[in-house]
Structure 1
Amino acid sequence: MKEKNQWSSKFGFIMASAGAAVGLGAIWKFPYITGMSGGGAFFILFIIFTLLIGLPLLISEYIIGRGAGAEAISAYKKLAPKTLWVWIGRFGVLGCFLLLSFYSVVGGWVVIYTGLSVSGNLLHASADYADIFDKVTGSAGITILGLLLFSLINVIVIALGVRNGIEKANKYMMPLLFLFFIILVIRSVTLSGAMEGLKFFLAPDFSKITRESLLYALGQSFFALAVGFSCLVTYSSYLKKDVSLPFSAGWVVSMNIFVSLLSGLAIFPVVFAYGYQPTEGPGLLFMVLPAAFSQIPLGGVFLSLFLLLFLFATLTSSFSLYEIIVAAFTANRFRSRKIVAWITGLIVFAAAIPAALSSSLLRDFKIFRKSVFDATDYLVSNLMLPIGCLLIAVFIIHKMDKALVREEFFLGGTAKASLFSLWRFLMTWIVPLTIVIVFLSMLGILK
């Protein structure tokens, strides 16, 4: 089935791209990674990497996708036929599959928490939310149920297509997500003891930065923008020629940084006000959010609405991951999109089970001293994503037709030549060198 020009408007594309990026990366992962990596200093590194590395890469994926007018694997085939560059697309499909194998687990947690909140069984003034999180993640049955429900929602939407569903819903749900986040921030920063949390998040202490922190900040800038696995190559292949790619990318990055800022302002004041540790890890958001809303009038209603919106943001990100896989296997149009979507969902569900059981039946099983969940997260976010970004940087500068790159950069807008020169300089030198240096530092080769 042909899906060219899927997005009906510029705003719809920006919201869909923001939906792909503003999900678990900004709302769930950013707070706990920041908490484990030094607070304010890590946040500054994240912003620097996002602007100097993530933004140019986002523009690059847009250029490759719209320039080729094809999904990820076919795009590299079309732009560099009869070469090994097609493996960038295949690498992206594999990366999205592995990412979904732990992302879907967290999505399942969000489904369960949303159900508990809507049913009135989550928010209690005297509840121990750390204990509730441990019970949810420590139950094999509950985590598998959440994983199953999350996978089913993804498959149903992807099987039906996304234009009339995701794009339209994004126009309303993403602004609402911002609104409720701001309400939560206002309540969080007015709590007694909130100042220590604000100090932790906004006052940088660079002595806490390690080599691993650099790699985490780099990986988070990729994870939060959904770059590196060519997801947005597929999304931009559905884009019309009257949309400015740098303008769209700038909006997506701005919204992502703003949501990350809101996440920190919402989470860390509550962490310190209620005696949690910022190093709690992946469960940080699920413990802090209910604690904050329990102090707000009609907190149960607000928490349910926020979790529903959070679930939507989580789904819009996972839709982009599913889309690159499904689009790759339906590119020749001989395969049914519905059949491929259901097969993909079944395989992803099966592959995610070990990560789902990391806190229950497989809690004692370790890979390089990490649980299956943490090991998969580390492999994807800190190793595969940077490698994918490095390959994309090399491809667009040294292999893709320079005239086509320039044409796509300037189409649909009034970008100045100096902006193009800056983007090209960053992609030629700063992006690849930063990735290589951080990697060598991580390995201990550079001191």
Structure 2
Amino acid sequence: METRKKTDQWSSKLGFILSSAGAAIGLGAIWKFPYVTGMSGGGAFFLLFVLFTLVIGLPMLLSEFIIGRGTGKEAISAYKQLAPRSWWVWTGRLGVLGCFLLLSFYSVVGGWVLVYSGLSIPGRIIGEGADYGALFGSVTGSAAITLIGLLLFTLINVLVVSTGIQNGIERANKFMMPLLFLFFLILVVRSLTLDGAMEGVKFFLSPDFSKLNAEAVLYALGQSFFSLAVGFSCMVTYSSYLKKDVSLRSSAGSVVGMNIFVSLLAGLAIFPVVFSFGMQPDEGPGLLFMVLPEVFGQMPFGELFLALFLLLFLFATLTSSFSLFEIIVAALTANGRRTRKAVTWLTGLIVFLAAIPSALSSSALSWFTLFGKSVFDNTDYLVSNIMLPLGNLLIALFIIHRMDRALVEREFNLSATASPGLFKLWKVLMTIVVPLVIAVVFLTGLSVEG
């Protein structure tokens, strides 16, 4: 294993867990999870999500940790070392390409959040008689505003990632993640003190399985591993910076626990507010940008609480995008011939240029469609429905059928109490259950049109 500089490692277990949790907690946990939960029956969906996260997401996360820490290398080099001169290296390459394509539309949404966050501080979003749908349309439909938001969002990522693991990503996550939890707790307390808030809590936490359908179950399955940032080997790269005296099992458990906790907080922050003001929980993707501003506008100190919510959403979006940038930068600097700073700035420039078509999908390029979808929607479909499930499936097959079993078991138990029973359970899940579930989600995703 190549020798890393001390600053190319996480300085502590806490730094690694917060950064890994930050990578996992993003658009999926705070934007997609609440509106999908609202459209899928509430409590029953949440219960299924938790179950699938523990049975599917946790074993996959641990698998990426084992591959990364076991080799001490970033995604592409890790597969090269473990399966030299074989096609398995394309698992890492798929991850790098997937992160790049994901950034090309994720950064656009990040730009929208950044613009909304900026508008919320002086209170320009909330206003009497404001048309929130029109406001969102004016942001997404303006080429200039969208491109400025995209540029600023990309620039923040470049400035953080270019300064390294300890000084950049870890330091940013140690600042942003505690604030994210603090802001969430403030919002939850405020939400639960509203009149009629308990109706929202009941909807979110009381399972009503009669509202579940096959589509909702598949959403919960997909969300269980999409929400943990597994499938593109981001966690392979992150765990490659981890020291050998840290237990992968406890780290993975901490990350999963924090992810479920944030999903719980998101539901408790949003649904009581929605029900308190007579809104519908199944508003879909517009829940964050259109419904919540209207609701907060009817609350005392609504401007403050909306600003806090958007700020924590921005933090979550950024901590996830750091990991997407890092897997690309780590792959391009692996040979040691290029400096991190130069590669990060070049990556930022290329990501910005590649994101322009998606950024203009609602404005200058709204006329252009392929298979009935915009550039933004096509890229989202390619990444979410094809590349991400495929990446998960390849990783699951690789760690069981190609990776050295002694190395896998050693990393599984390193710095923890040897537990043959736990290892056997993980192996059964990764051999049978996880690949089967991923295959179902993959095939179902291919049949989804929009």
Fold similarity call, TM over 0.5: yes
Letter in 1 for 2:74: E
From 168, 172, 175, the equivalent of 1:165 is 168
Q: Is the contact between residue 191 and residue 270 of structure 2 (CA under 8 Å) also seen in structure 1?
A: yes
Q: Is the contact between residue 274 and residue 295 of structure 2 (CA under 8 Å) also seen in structure 1?
A: no
Q: Is the contact between residue 222 and residue 385 of structure 1 (CA under 8 Å) also seen in structure 2?
A: no
C-alpha separation between the residues in 1 aligned to 2:236 and 2:319? 16
Specify the alignment match of 2:355 in structure 1.
352
Q: Give % identity.
A: 72
CA pair 272-370 structure 1, distance change in 2 beyond 3 A: farther
Q: Is the contact between residue 29 and residue 259 of structure 2 (CA under 8 Å) also seen in structure 1?
A: yes
Specify the alignment match of 1:233 in structure 2.
236
Q: Which deviations, in whole Å up to 9, do the C-alpha atoms of 1:115-143 show, x marking residues without a partner? A: 11223322335433333222212222111
C-alpha separation between the residues in 2 aligned to 1:438 and 1:167? 33
Specify the alignment match of 2:108 in structure 1.
105
Alignment of 1:168-317 (within 5 A): 168-294=171-297, 297-317=300-320
C-alpha separation between the residues in 2 aligned to 1:68 and 1:408? 10
What SS does the aligned partner of 2:284 have? coil
Q: Is the contact between residue 162 and residue 341 of structure 2 (CA under 8 Å) also seen in structure 1?
A: yes
Alignment of 1:14-53 (within 5 A): 14-53=17-56
Letter in 2 for 1:359: S
**TM-score if structure 2 supplies the norm length?**
0.91
Q: Which deviations, in whole Å up to 9, do the C-alpha atoms of 1:179-208 show, x marking residues without a partner? A: 221221232234344444334433444455
Specify the alignment match of 1:372 in structure 2.
375
Q: Is the contact between residue 187 and residue 296 of structure 1 (CA under 8 Å) also seen in structure 2?
A: no
CA pair 207-355 structure 1, distance change in 2 beyond 3 A: farther
* Unpaired segments ≥5 residues, structure 2: none
Letter in 1 for 2:146: T
C-alpha separation between the residues in 1 aligned to 2:207 and 2:372? 30
The Cα of 1:42 is off from its aligned counterpart by 2.6
Letter in 2 for 1:249: A
Specify the alignment match of 2:157 in structure 1.
154
**TM-score if structure 1 supplies the norm length?**
0.92
What SS does the aligned partner of 1:286 have? coil
- Match status 1:65 vs 2:59: no
C-alpha separation between the residues in 2 aligned to 1:375 and 1:269? 34
Letter in 2 for 1:234: T
C-alpha separation between the residues in 2 aligned to 1:364 and 1:274? 37
Specify the alignment match of 1:81 in structure 2.
84
C-alpha separation between the residues in 2 aligned to 1:17 and 1:442? 26
- Match status 1:416 vs 2:405: no
C-alpha separation between the residues in 2 aligned to 1:118 and 1:82? 54
CA pair 36-105 structure 1, distance change in 2 beyond 3 A: farther
The Cα of 1:238 is off from its aligned counterpart by 0.5
The Cα of 1:371 is off from its aligned counterpart by 3.4
* Unpaired segments ≥5 residues, structure 1: none
The Cα of 1:252 is off from its aligned counterpart by 0.5
The Cα of 1:377 is off from its aligned counterpart by 2.3
- Match status 1:403 vs 2:381: no
What SS does the aligned partner of 1:124 have? coil
The Cα of 1:2 is off from its aligned counterpart by 4.5
What SS does the aligned partner of 1:374 have? helix
Name the Cα RMSD after superposition: 2.3
C-alpha separation between the residues in 2 aligned to 1:42 and 1:377? 23
Q: Is the contact between residue 211 and residue 442 of structure 1 (CA under 8 Å) also seen in structure 2?
A: no
Q: Is the contact between residue 237 and residue 327 of structure 2 (CA under 8 Å) also seen in structure 1?
A: yes
What SS does the aligned partner of 2:73 have? coil
CA pair 287-194 structure 1, distance change in 2 beyond 3 A: farther
The Cα of 1:298 is off from its aligned counterpart by 4.2
What SS does the aligned partner of 1:96 have? helix
Letter in 2 for 1:252: V
CA pair 252-413 structure 1, distance change in 2 beyond 3 A: same
C-alpha separation between the residues in 2 aligned to 1:146 and 1:183? 27
Greater alpha carbon shift after TM alignment, 391-400 vs 162-171: 162-171
Q: Is the contact between residue 385 and residue 445 of structure 2 (CA under 8 Å) also seen in structure 1?
A: no
